[in-house]
Amino acid sequence: MDRDLLGHLPVIVAVARRGGFASAAAELGMSPSAVSHAVRLVEERIGQPLFARTTRSVSLTEAGQALVATAEPALQDIAERMERIRGIKGRPAGLLRINVSHVAVPMAVTPVVTAMAERYPDVTVEIFANEGLVDIVGEGFDAGIRLGEMIAQDMIAIRMTPPFQVIIVASPAYIGRRGRPRSLADLAAHNCIGYRLVRSGALYRWDLTEDGKDVAVETRGTAVVTDSLAAIDLALSGMGLAYVFEPLVRADLAAGRLVQVLPQSAIEEPGLFLYFPRRAAMAPKLRAFVDIAQEIGRTPLRAPGRVA
C-alpha cells in the first residue's frame, strides 16, 4: 500500500464531486494549486490520468471513475466510524451538511439549528438551500429536507412538520384593484406569480382541487420566480396572486397583510421530512439533529412570518 497517497484521496473525491479544482479547493479549505498538486501526485503514482481536463470542464477518466467508486464509500465509512468513536466518550462534533429547499429553512430548519447551537456547540450545521432535488450521498450531504412525496423509498425519513395546505394569497391592495377570483377559471384573468422548476425548467402548474378532483392549472403573470419566499414578497407588494405553503404566510394572514382566495381549492401536502441513508443514522451529529427535531416536533411552533 502506498501510504503517501491515502491523505490525497479526499482531494480526488472532492474534485470528482464538485466537478472542478477551484470548487473542490473551496470545500476543502485549500488553494487550487495545492489541489492540483495532490491530483498530479496521485496520477503520477498510479501511472494513469484520473481526470480529463479542458478549459471549461473536468471529468473523470475510466481510471478515475474506478478509483472514486472505491475510495468515496471507504472514506465516508471511515469518517462515520470516527465520529461514532468520538461520540462514545464525548459530545457530538463535526460538520453536518444538510441540503434543503428554501422554504424548509423558516418552516423546519431554523428552530432545530438554533437549539443545536446551544446544546451541541461543537457541531457546525451547514445548510445548503436550493430547489433542485439532489443525490445527497453523491453530493456529500449527511441529510436532506424535502416534501415527503419527493423522498426515495430507500431513505430513512423523519417528520419535521405536520401536513399543511398549499393556498393562493394576495394583498388587500391587489384585491381592491383586481377583485377576488371566485372560481379557478377566474385565475386566467389575474396576474399570477409563476414558479419555474429548477431541475426541468418548466413552469409549475398550480395543483388545486375542483369539485373534489385534483387539477393542474396553468397560470400567467408578469413575474416568475424559483423561490416561494420571493413569491410571497411579490404578493405582499400588491403585485399579484401567489401559490404558497400556508405556514409561510400564517402570520401575514393573521395580520391582514395577505388574504386567502379560493380556499375551497387548496390542496394538502404531507409535510416536510428529514431524510438520510440508513448507514448514516448512527452518526452522533445526525442523531443529535434528529433528536432535537423530534423534540421540537412535539411542541407547537410559532408560525414563521414577518414581525409586524
pTM above 0.75, yes or no: no
- Comparing C-alpha atoms, which of 246, 188, 252 is closest to residue 221? 188
pLDDT at 283: 83
Closest C-alpha among 271, 306, 287 to residue 84: 287
Identify the pLDDT of residue 2.
62
Burial 274-288 (b: 16+ CB within 10 A, else e): bbbeeebeebbbbbb
Q: What is the mean pLDDT of each run of 10 residues along the chain (308 residues)?
A: 74 88 87 89 88 82 88 78 62 90 93 95 93 82 89 87 96 97 96 92 95 94 95 98 97 98 96 87 86 76 37
DSSP code, position 32? H
pLDDT tens-digit profile of 176-223? 999 999 999 999 999 999 999 987 889 999 999 999 899 999 999 999
Q: What is the pLDDT of residue 306?
A: 37
pLDDT at position 18, please? Answer: 85
pLDDT at 300: 41
Take residue 242 and report the three cell numbers written for it. Answer: 401567489
What is the predicted pLDDT for the residue at 84?
63
pLDDT at 193: 98
Q: Are 31 and 20 in contact (CB under 8 A)?
A: no
Residue 93 is predicted with a pLDDT of 87
Any idea which residue has 399543511 for its cell?
Answer: 164
| DSSP string over 37-66 | HHHHHHHHHHTS-SEEE-SS-EEE-HHHHH
For the stretch 47-62, pLDDT in tens is 889 998 877 778 899 8
Instruction: Say if residues 271 and 164 touch (Cβ distance below 8 Å).
Output: yes
Give the Cα separation of 69 and 56 in Å (integer). 24
C-alpha 303 chain-centroid distance: 20
Query: What are 196's three cell numbers?
Result: 419555474
Nearest Cα to Cα of residue 138 among 152, 149, 159: 152
Strands (E), the chain: 51-53, 58-60, 94-100, 123-129, 143-147, 156-159, 164-170, 194-195, 206-210, 213-217, 224-225, 242-245, 259-261, 267-269, 272-276
Alpha-carbon distances, residue 57 vs 15, 22, 62 (angstroms): 11, 11, 16
Q: Which residue's C-alpha cell is 450531504?
A: 141
